[in-house]
């Protein structure tokens, strides 16, 4: 409708003032709730053509539209704003088309789709996935779905940080303190077991560090000079040289972690099209660095380390290879980017990584640009805020994290407790209940995280997220289940509806309000894709669920005697249910048919 109104306003200006007006001067927006109308035309940019006051110009354009465009039933002018009311007939016709459309995403399709890579998860193989990873995975997977329904070819990728000093810390601690412990012998998930030894390393290293501090050594030097840290660095050098014993240990412990990761990914309902491993991509990165060094794009420091000077780009000097020739994170990211471009020829690559890495991705883009890769302009750091618990920030080194597996289990338990307290699900069998508890728990977790603007830091509160009222996943799930119950009753009573009767139905204010909101679904999805913001979809679903619940409480649906009105209300219920189902699917949230 916004595009149609732009054309209509342009035609009115042409007819009234004999002037052609460019689209960018015609501003159409939704009318604010405290004013009468559906769409508002900003009159001020049009005064150059009318040579009149804003009020008089608005009146003239409004009257012309009223005479020439039947979809507008009334208008009013408030200062420099022309508020247009769309006719009931137009809204009903629009809705009838939406009700019979098999594809709710048709309005989101773009004309020139792109190949887009979305990188998310990016775990380290020295610890299990935690709450921060949950936000990362949920954002990345939702972005994949949102961009895909808009027509893009989207590749879901993951880069596993499976090499480096942090990996060697877990390996060394297991060698020293593990006594051959395995996931099988301990009963622990593999990623949890390896994470246990990462924490043990840090605890032992702290003890050794405190001894050095007593000797008057500075803290930074002490932390890096302990026997444990020296051994870890030696192990890293052995790994990079392919030492057989170290490689066997590395492969064994990584296999434990991958099995654990896969289980967590299944729980969260996320997956990947391609997984890259830093242990492989760093080799390509090193080759690129050596090649750029030979071309004098980079420089070698007196200690043999390799650096890039980005001062002309407003950045500083960045290390790319250490003095012992071992690679840093930046090295592997260079290699990964080039390998991906060679494999997929992407136009955009979104890195779903926390905002503490903002500088890293500025440097990555600048280095690739300096190396001559013009496609680096398509690299985008999707910088999201940190997620904390009410108790405060998590600390991996101290083991003060909330493991993803533990949090999912807690959410399911919380869903069980709240559901039982409210007396819901009493008629279900045990297995049915457990399935629904998991859907409610995961729905609460995913929605609470995704409804927040991804660029903002947030505090995740499990008890708030599970509420069956308010802006929560369970509230939206319950609304959907309520709609499905309407149609189960309709099936039991043989009550149907005829879409052809909608045109003759008398639509009230509530029905029109619901249609207006349903119209915004594809617009919201398109905006979410353009702004990389699943939060827009999440909050739209809440607005729709809230509007439908008000409609449900205010009107009789199946018991309405007028067949045309009943058909309209049943169709509104059916389409609202489909939109909620699709909207929550974009967020990776399952919707129970019954609750």
Q: Which CATH number fits domain 404-586: 1.20.1430.10, 1.10.730.10, 3.40.47.10, 3.40.50.300?
A: 1.10.730.10
Confidence category of residue 422, pLDDT binned at 50, 70, 90: confident
Q: What is the pLDDT of residue 398?
A: 45
pLDDT in tens, 372-391: 999 999 999 999 998 887 76
How many Cβ atoms from other residues are within 10 Å of residue 3's Cβ?
9
β-bridge mates for residue 116, sequence order = 154, 348
Q: What is the pLDDT of residues 40-50, one digit of tens each?
A: 999 999 999 99
DSSP classification of residue 102? S
pLDDT at 159: 96
Which residues does 5 contact at the CB level (< 8 Å), separation at least 6?
A: 28, 39, 41, 84
Cβ proximity of 127 and 195 under 8 Å? yes
Residue 91, pLDDT score: 94
Question: Where along the chain do the CATH 3.30.1360.70 domains lie?
Answer: 2-86
Average pLDDT over residues 133-147: 97
Q: How far is CA 547 from the centre of its chain?
A: 24
pLDDT over threshold 50, residue 290 = yes
Tell whether the torsion through CA atoms of 51, 56, 61 and 64 is positive or negative.
negative
Q: Identify the band that residue 462 occupies on the pLDDT scale cut at 50, 70 and 90.
A: confident
The answer for residues whose C-beta is within 8 angstroms of residue 266's C-beta and 6 or more apart is: none
Q: Are 310 and 316 in contact (CB under 8 A)?
A: yes
Question: Which residue, among 395, 382, 327, 3, has the nearest Cα to 165 in the 3D structure?
Answer: 327
Q: Which segments of the chain belong to CATH 3.40.50.620?
A: 120-388
Per-residue confidence (pLDDT) for residue 164, from 0 to 100:
86
Q: CA 73, CA 571: separation in Å to the nearest integer?
A: 24
> How is residue 68 written in tokens?
């020439």
pLDDT at 335 over 80: yes
Cite the DSSP H helix spans in 351-429.
358-370, 404-421
Name 107's Cβ contacts closer than 8 Å, sequence gap at least 6: 522, 523, 526
Distances (CA, A) of 282 to 162, 293, 344: 11, 16, 19
Cβ atoms of residues 79 and 55 within 8 Å:
yes
Of all helices (H) and strands (E), which one includes residue 159? strand 153-160
Map residue 72 onto helix, strand or coil: strand
HEC per residue, 12-41: HHHHHHCCCCCHHHCEEEECCCCCCCCEEE
Hey, how many other C-beta atoms are within 10 angstroms of the C-beta on 365?
A: 19
Q: Please compute, for residue 482, the number of CA atoms within 13 A of its CA located in the half-sphere on the CB side.
A: 19
Candidate CATH numbers 2.40.30.10, 3.40.50.620, 3.30.70.260, 3.10.20.600; the one for domain 120-388 = 3.40.50.620
pLDDT tens across 526-575, in order?
999 999 999 999 999 999 999 999 999 999 999 999 999 999 999 999 99
Contact 269, 588 (CB under 8 A): yes
Q: Which CATH class is domain 2-86?
A: alpha beta
Q: Apex CA 572: angle with CA 566 and CA 578, to 5°?
A: 135
Torsion on CA atoms 554, 555, 559, 564, rounded to nearest 10: 180
Q: Where in the chain is the domain with CATH 1.10.730.10?
A: 404-586
User: What percent of the chain shows pLDDT beyond 90?
Assistant: 79
């Amino acid at each position: 409708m916004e595009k149609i109104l732009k054309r209509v306003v342009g035609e009115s200006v042409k007819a009234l003032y004999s002037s052609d007006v460019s689209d960018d001067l015609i501003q159409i927006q939704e009318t604010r709730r405290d004013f009468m109308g559906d769409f508002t035309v900003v009159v001020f940019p049009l005064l150059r053509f009318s040579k009149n006051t804003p009020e008089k110009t608005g009146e003239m354009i409004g009257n012309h539209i009223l005479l020439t465009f039947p979809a507008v039933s009334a208008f009013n002018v408030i200062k420099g704003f022309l508020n247009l009311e769309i006719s009931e007939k137009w809204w009903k016709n629009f809705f009838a088309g939406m009700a019979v459309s098999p594809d709710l995403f048709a309005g989101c399709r773009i004309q020139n789709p792109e190949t887009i890579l979305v990188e998310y998860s990016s775990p380290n193989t020295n610890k299990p996935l935690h709450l921060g990873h949950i936000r990362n995975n949920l954002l990345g997977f939702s972005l994949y779905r949102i961009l895909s329904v808009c027509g893009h070819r989207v590749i879901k990728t993951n880069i596993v940080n499976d090499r480096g000093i942090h990996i060697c810390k877990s390996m060394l601690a297991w060698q020293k303190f593990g006594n051959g412990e395995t996931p099988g012998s301990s009963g622990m998930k593999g990623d949890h077991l390896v994470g246990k030894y990462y924490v043990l390393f840090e605890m032992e290293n702290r003890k050794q560090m405190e001894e050095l501090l007593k000797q008057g050594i500075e803290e930074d030097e002490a932390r890096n000079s302990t026997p444990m840290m020296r051994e870890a660095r030696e192990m890293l050098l052995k790994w990079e040289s392919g030492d057989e014993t170290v490689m066997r240990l590395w492969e064994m412990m990584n296999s434990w972690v991958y099995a654990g990761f896969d289980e967590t990914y299944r729980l969260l309902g996320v997956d990947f099209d391609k997984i890259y491993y830093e242990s492989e991509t760093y080799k390509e990165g090193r080759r690129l660095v050596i090649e750029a060094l030979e071309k004098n794009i980079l420089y070698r420091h007196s200690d043999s380390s390799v650096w890039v000077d980005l001062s002309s780009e407003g950045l500083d000097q960045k290390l790319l290879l250490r003095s012992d020739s071992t690679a840093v994170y930046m090295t592997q990211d260079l290699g990964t980017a080039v390998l991906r471009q060679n494999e997929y020829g992407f136009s955009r690559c979104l890195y779903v990584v926390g905002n503490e890495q903002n500088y890293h991705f500025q440097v990555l883009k600048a280095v690739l640009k300096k190396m001559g890769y013009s496609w680096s302009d398509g690299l985008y750091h999707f910088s999201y805020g940190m997620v904390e618990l009410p108790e405060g920030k998590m600390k991996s080194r101290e083991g003060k994290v909330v493991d993803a597996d533990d949090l999912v289990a807690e959410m399911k338990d919380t869903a069980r407790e709240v559901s039982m307290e409210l007396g819901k699900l009493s008629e279900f069998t045990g297995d049915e209940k457990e399935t629904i508890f998991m859907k409610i728990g995961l729905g609460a977790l995913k929605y609470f995280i995704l409804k927040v603007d991804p660029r903002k830091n947030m505090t995740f509160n499990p008890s708030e997220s599970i509420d069956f009222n308010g802006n929560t996943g369970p509230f939206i799930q319950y609304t959907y289940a309520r709609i499905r119950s309407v149609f189960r009753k309709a099936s039991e009573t043989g009550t149907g509806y005829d879409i052809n009767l909608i045109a003759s139905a008398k639509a009230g204010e509530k029905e029109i309000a619901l249609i207006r909101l349903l119209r915004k679904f594809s617009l919201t999805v398109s905006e979410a894709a353009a702004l990389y913001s699943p939060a827009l979809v999440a909050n739209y679903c809440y607005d729709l669920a809230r509007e439908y619940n008000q409609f449900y409480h205010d009107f009789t649906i199946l018991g309405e005697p007028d067949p045309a009105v009943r058909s309209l209300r049943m169709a509104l219920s059916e389409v609202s249910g489909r939109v909620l189902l699709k909207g929550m699917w974009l967020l990776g949230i399952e919707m129970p048919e019954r609750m």
